[in-house]
Amino acid sequence: MGNRQLSQKTAKLYEQIADHVAGLIDGGTFRPGERIPSLRQLSTQKRVSVSTVLQAYSLLEDHGLIEARPQSGYYVKTKSPYSCPEPEISTTVSDPTEISIQELTMMVMHDLFNPNLVQLGAAAPNPAVLPTGKLNRILASLTRRKGDFGIQYDIPSGYKDLRVQIARHMVKAGCSLKPGDIITTTGCIEAIDLCLRAVCRPGDTVAIESPTYFGILQSMEAMGLQALEIPTHPRDGISLEALGFAIEQTPVKACLVISNFNNPIGSCIPDEKKKSLVQLIGEHEIPLIEVDVCGEIYFSEPRPSVCKAYDEKGLVMLCSSFSKTIAPGYRVGWVTPGRISSTIEWLKFTSSIATATFPQLALAEFLDRGGYEHHMKRVRRTYAHNVARMSEAVVRYFPEETRATRPTGGFLLWVQLPKSVDSLVLYKQALRSGITLSPGDMFSSTRRYRNFVRLNAACWTDEIERAIARLGDLIKGQIN
């Protein structure tokens, strides 16, 4: 870089090209995590030298819009729209606590299904990216071809062809599963429930992330389990130091993590850290219940691995579902229970006999030949785009002290509001403006997220932008 004496004209050319590419990114042609044209492609298209494009791309890198990846090319930076800091990590390991957030979740639940509200609350996927037409054609055809089979009880472990497909698709996440290692369930939450039933007795303590999905807290409350909330970083997940410390201090019976694109915090445990986590629980022979419902919704390649991939002892019980990616209304999930497979199969039998038959048949066919990868590319692109748009809007409309997560997958934002804001008050004010959201207190048994909210960023419309702006006003109103 000795020769930095560029003529006015050359500098202008760099900027023109940089502006052109920035325009494509802003306009949504290339979205966070997507590859932009190669140096050679753009040099051909714009009739300039490769080194000119290189200079232009360097400018964009300096502005934090794109990033180079070795031997791969240039990508739109997934962090680009985030100009507010990430939420703080919760700091203390508290004592195990009993869980009681019933009243709060009941109130919120009713709004979640009110079609007259702007739905920033429930973690429902965007209806526009569900493969509705294809699945319906498959289901209709199945009623003719497998009608007798579809009406009857399936076996407790679930439909074999579906389990074959699950095993195949999980290779990408680093797993070597056999269909016999998998048991299908009524959504992911049944899978989690069966695992907790299998390894815990009432009164036992389970180490969980803080914050975590309220359905998990509820399951635990119903079984009389104690939650030990472990600090969890919004980027790389559960603190292993805190978890290790907790295991030494408390008789922890099981550990439960949402390893990829956590609900609500968006964290994705890096591969190396996943290995360390599996080693840690292995040393103490503590079963790990791992949830991966959003693992397929990554904004940039590669698909993140799962802890199960590093599990040599059979201690990891991986739970997932198709509710966030293909068909929420089908209520089909699955679990690979590792060494306690037969116990889980038996619990499945006694707690629901088997998973509904037709939804399993339809999913098996869709995964086999419904264009799953094509479908998922569209899902990932849409969510990356919408999460970025909502993040930008949060920066634009919420007060300056706001912090927000920078998820690299999934479709949820976890937002830390200024300390004086009470998200429950905000929730009630928002309702009067026709907006629903999930207040932070739903995601902990200790009420430590009073000034947090979870926003569903699966959809992005003008109406939603206005809702974010309105929320911003309400929040500012609480501060002033």
* Residues found near a copy of itself in the complex (CB under 8 A): 102, 105-106, 109, 113, 122, 124, 127, 130, 132-133, 135-137, 139-140, 143-144, 147-156, 186-187, 189-190, 193, 197, 201-203, 214-215, 218-219, 222-224, 323, 327-331, 342-343, 345-347, 349-359
Minimum Å distance from CB 79 to a copy of itself? 31
Measuring CA to CA, how many Å separate 326 from each of 212, 291, 293, 363, 383? 23, 17, 11, 8, 14
Beta bridge pairs of residue 73? 69
Minimum Å distance from CB 219 to a copy of itself? 7
Contact 100, 221 (CB under 8 A): yes
CB nearer to a copy of itself: give 18 or 457.
Answer: 457
Measuring CA to CA, how many Å separate 397 from each of 32, 141, 175, 368, 475? 21, 49, 43, 44, 10
CB nearer to a copy of itself: give 122 or 395.
Answer: 122
Minimum Å distance from CB 355 to a copy of itself? 7
Helix (H) or strand (E) holding 67: strand 66-69
CB nearer to a copy of itself: give 199 or 394.
Answer: 199
**Sheet arrangement for strand 118-120:** 118-120, 435-439, 452-456, 412-416, 403-404
Minimum Å distance from CB 231 to a copy of itself? 24
Residues contacting residue 138 through CB under 8 Å, at least 6 positions apart: 362, 365, 366, 370
Question: What is the bridge-based pairing of β-strands 118-120 and 435-439?
Answer: parallel
CB nearer to a copy of itself: give 103 or 373.
Answer: 103
Helix (H) or strand (E) holding 213: none
CB nearer to a copy of itself: give 52 or 219.
Answer: 219
Contact 383, 410 (CB under 8 A): yes
Minimum Å distance from CB 133 to a copy of itself? 7
CB nearer to a copy of itself: give 117 or 309.
Answer: 117
Beta bridge pairs of residue 413? 455
Minimum Å distance from CB 294 to a copy of itself? 15
CB nearer to a copy of itself: give 221 or 290.
Answer: 221
Minimum Å distance from CB 191 to a copy of itself? 11
Residues constituting the chain: 480
